[in-house]
Structure formats: structure tokens, C-alpha cells
Amino acid sequence: MAAGECREFVFVINASESMTKADPNQIIAQSVTWSMENFSATDEVGIVAFKENVHIIKPLSKVGGSPAHFNIHYSGRSNAGAALLSAIDMLSNKFHTERYIIIFTDGENLLDKSEQNLRSVENFRAGLEQAKWLGIPVYILSVRYDENPPNYHSYGNYAREIPTHYRDLMTTMRTIVHDDFHTPHIELPIENLTSSNLQCEVPVRADRLKIFLLSSNAGNVELKGMSAEKIVDATFTKIFVAESSPPSKFELALKYPAGTGLTLDVVPTVKGRVQTDVKSSIFGRKVLQITPLHSDGSEKILSDAYFDGKTIGLTLNDARINGTISNGVIKVALDDAESVSLQKIHFADVGIIFDGDDTALITVPSTNYAAWIVALAAIGVIGFLSWRLSRRRRETREQVSASVVVKKNLLPVDKFFAKSADRQSLSFKGKLMIYVTKIPGGENVAPLECNLFQMNADKISLVELLTGCGVEEYFTDTGGIVLAPTESGLSVANDSAYTILERSDLIAKGQRVELIYGDTINITTPDESAELIMIYKSLKPTEADEHAHGQKNFLGRGRSADAK
């Protein structure tokens, strides 16, 4: 289960006199505070301290109401058996909820009378057996000091016992919280520093950012480059929270002794939405492509190279599988099915808390093998004819033109149209196939075909194009999406709030893309109420097209040669 789904944790802390040596710097309290700050706001946490009697520091409740920091006064004897039974009683009886107990102790049950001590030992062992039967993992962190003898009892059959020293207790807890409890985090690179400024960069644009700095020695840190609240300022733990779209780059001014070990983690919260698409290969293999976008649709959330090649969990049709991230797109192969239910994207796998809807019901298109066979045959014929033609040209010693790979060119819109005068000799050619895949009300719209040869202009907006097709009412404010002819095909420039995707590439506001034969773009309204697909086909004009060129455009309205 990833962070974000409700889980229950109870921390049990030995507060007896012997813990004065086992935890001289109150690191246990700091590690519990740090752990709570890493958990999801929906997780529930309880804190129990025990001496001769059991004391409830925090009843089991949502993390959101947790104390920022607390201290424990070590004194008296220890009754671990009663504390463990109290912790089990504190947890709920929800068997489908993940429940954990984490015990901090120096390993001794010690009361004044031998019969009381024996009862405590028996209760402790009985509590471990009960937790195992209930499926509740128990972690026993045996905190030691240098002269501390080993435990008299072994709990290996019922609990995970982890020997640790008070000097590395925080590191031990960090490992458990991240590896076993799967809390989201991104570790930023850092070196052992004496007194220096550290430049930091988060690989994602966050709407909220939490910064955790752990140290092996006491010291101070100042955050520069962003406005943030220091919510925890303990001896070995510093935690900052930055709200309201913090910058991705910031600086830490560190003041620690030489040789101090430092660990820097960040947890970004990102508001967004997801777009889905299913691609089919020539062999009938279908690939689901999921593109997480920021809520304003301006860019991909996972576009940074840091995420390339990483795996991320997906819950599809009630089963969890892994997808691979490439260029900001999550890709996963699909089994044969008519539809796929995307129930969750486990963003915590890559260290992110996602705030948005990551569910979708996806229709999987059927594979038309006949079309692929015809396409393969056509490719074979074209290849054979090309070979014969090239051979004949070699025989006549004519110059052979090398095939040219047209690279997609993303340029600012203003720079492209500033050169409009240089393109007056260019004219529209080919056809546009428009498929309206979604409109409010769920009605079906027949495929639309627009003949570009009949246009007599150097550019045209999408709203003009759709007006001629009768569907402009669903795609208002598309005047900022402008089409223009190029030497190789068709330019589409985006100066609107619409989301435009060419394959998996986002054409952001202020950019353009060039389409050549067979290229496809997807256009979605800002509120996602309507979507369409445009396919560009670069075909030669018919005689009727050539006769109509300069007299009438495809909209059926006259347009002069100098129209803008």
C-alpha cells in the first residue's frame, strides 16, 4: 500500500531510568516526530510511553493533529508487557487496514518484584503472539549504549528485532520509514560539510514542498531562496514546509561541525491531472501511455531526466503492475481487453504526493490486422519500386537524393509568424482529417475532412477551420491555435490555453510544431469537456482543387490573395 491510503501506527517508548544512557539526546522523540511528518495526513498515529505504568502521549488519531515535537522524561522501572497489550488495544479491528507497532527499548523488563517482572515478560510474549496472529508487524528497536549488555530474550519468532545505537537511531528509522512503510521522498545529493552553502534543485515543479534535513551532530541551517516555515527545529532534525508554488531551486546555509553526516530529503506535492492514450504496434501489441500534467496543463509533471527509466506502480483492473517513465510519459503494455480501468497511479514510488484525479476508464481499440497486412504489402511494393528506380538512376548516373528526416521543430509562435513575409510563396497543401472524440452530452460527430488546397491564405485559425465544419461551439477560444503552410507540410502554433499533444510531446503555449504526412495531434479544451484529433495528409491536389485554388477556400467564402 502506498502512502496516501490510511494506515495505523503505534509507537511504544520505554521511558524507564535505564533509557537515560540508551537515549541521552532524546533522539527517540525526534525520530517519532520526524516519522509522523513523513506519513500521509490520512494515516493515524498513536504514541505510548511506559514506566511501571503506561502513559498515552497521543491517542490513535490522524497525523494532521500530531504534536510538532515532544520530550520524554526517563525515570522509574519498565513494564513492557502492559505497554504492548495497550498498543494492540489501541489499534482498530479493521483487518484490511495496514497496522504497525514500533517499540523503542533497551531490552529489559524490570519491576520491583520478581512476580511482577515475570508477569510483564509473559504479557510481552503473549502480546507478540497476538500481534502475529492479527497480522500486525512489530518492530523492536533495541537501542543500546556502549556498556549496555545484550538482550536476555530473543523475539525473533514474533517480531523484527533491530539492534541499533543511539548515535545512528535516526538513520535506522529513516530506513524503516522509507523502505518498509514506503513514504514518498526524493533524496537530494549532499556531501559532508563543515560550514557552507548548498545549492539544491528539486526535479519537479511543486505546489507544496516539505524539506527534511537529518544530521549526525547538532548544528544550524538557514533556508534561502524561498519562503518556508521551520516546523521542527530539533537537535538532529530540521523540517521546513513551503506553501504556494515554491521554486524548484533553493539554497541551504549549513553550520555543522567537521565530519557531520547529513541527509537531505524533499517531498513535493503536485496538483495535476492525467491524459491517457493507447498505441498499437504493427504486431498488434498495445501500449497504454499515461501523461501526468500539471493542473494548468502547461507541462508534464515527470519531464525531468531524473524520472527517465524509473518504474512507477499502477493499479489497473484491480491489479498492481509497474509502468516505465520515458520523457514524462508512463508506458505499460496491455493485455487483450476491450477496456481498462485505471484506478490509481502510485506517485509515491517516485517520491511525489499527487493531488488530483488519477483514475480513468480507457477504451482499447481493436487491432485491424487486415489494415496492417495491406499496409505491409504497400510498404513492400513501394520499397521494391524505390529500389528499381534507384538502380535505374545509378545506371544513368543521375544524382540520387538522400532521404531526409524531418525533425519536429518547436519554436516560439511570435518568432515564427514574424517571418510571415518570407513565406508568402508558400501555400496550403494536403488535407486534414478531424475526428471529434468528445463533446459535452456525449453525442457522436461524424469524421470531418478539410481540403487545404482550396485555401488562399498564408495562415488560418482553428476556430475558422471548425466554423466551416460546424463544431466551433464546442471549441471556443481556439483563435490562438493557428495553422500555416511550410515547405514540408503544415505548421500548428499554440497561443491558447488548450492542451495540444503531438505523440507524447506537449506543445505548450507559445510553441509550434510542424506536421508532415500522417502526423497526428490531440487537442483538448482546458476543462477537458471536448477533445479532437487532427491527422494531416499531404496529398496532391485534384484538377478540381487546382481550378478552385485562389477562387474559394474550403469554408465556401471568398478570400483575397493578401488575406491575413
- Neighbour-count burial for 115-124, b at 16+ CB within 10 Å, e otherwise: ebbebbbebb
CA trace torsion 479, 485, 486, 487 (10° rounding):
180
Full-model pTM: 0.65
- 69 DSSP 8-state letter: -
Characterize the bridge pairing of strands 237-242 and 229-233: antiparallel
What's the pLDDT score for residue 488?
78
How is residue 432 written as a grid cell?
Answer: 486534414
CA distances from 268 to 186, 201, 301 (A): 8, 12, 11
What's the pLDDT score for residue 528?
83
- 148 DSSP 8-state letter: P
Radius of gyration in angstroms for the set of CA atoms belonging to the chain, rounded to a whole number: 32
Rounded-to-integer distance, Cα 455 and Cα 561, Å = 10
Orientation angle between helical segments 80-90 and 114-134, nearest 10 degrees: 30
Q: What is the pLDDT along the chain (564 residues), one digit of tens a residue?
A: 444 468 999 999 999 988 998 899 899 999 999 999 999 888 999 999 999 899 999 999 988 766 667 889 999 888 889 999 999 999 988 777 899 999 999 876 677 677 787 888 888 989 999 999 999 999 999 898 877 666 555 666 788 988 888 888 999 999 999 999 999 999 999 876 666 889 999 999 999 999 999 998 899 999 999 999 999 999 999 999 999 889 999 999 999 888 888 999 999 999 999 998 888 765 557 888 999 999 988 799 999 999 999 999 999 988 899 999 999 999 998 876 678 889 999 999 999 999 999 988 887 776 555 555 665 666 677 777 766 666 655 554 444 333 333 333 344 444 444 444 444 567 888 888 888 888 887 777 778 888 887 677 788 888 888 877 677 778 877 888 998 888 878 899 998 888 888 877 888 888 888 888 888 898 988 888 888 888 888 665 554 444 444 443 333 332 223 333
Contacts of 470 (CB under 8 A, 6+ apart): none
What's the pLDDT score for residue 557?
30
What's the pLDDT score for residue 366?
66
What's the pLDDT score for residue 194?
60
- Contact of 91 with 136, CB cutoff 8 Å: yes
Angle at 492 between CA 491 and CA 497, to 5 degrees: 160
What's the pLDDT score for residue 153?
58
What's the pLDDT score for residue 527?
83
How is residue 217 written as a grid cell?
Answer: 551532530
- Contact of 347 with 311, CB cutoff 8 Å: no
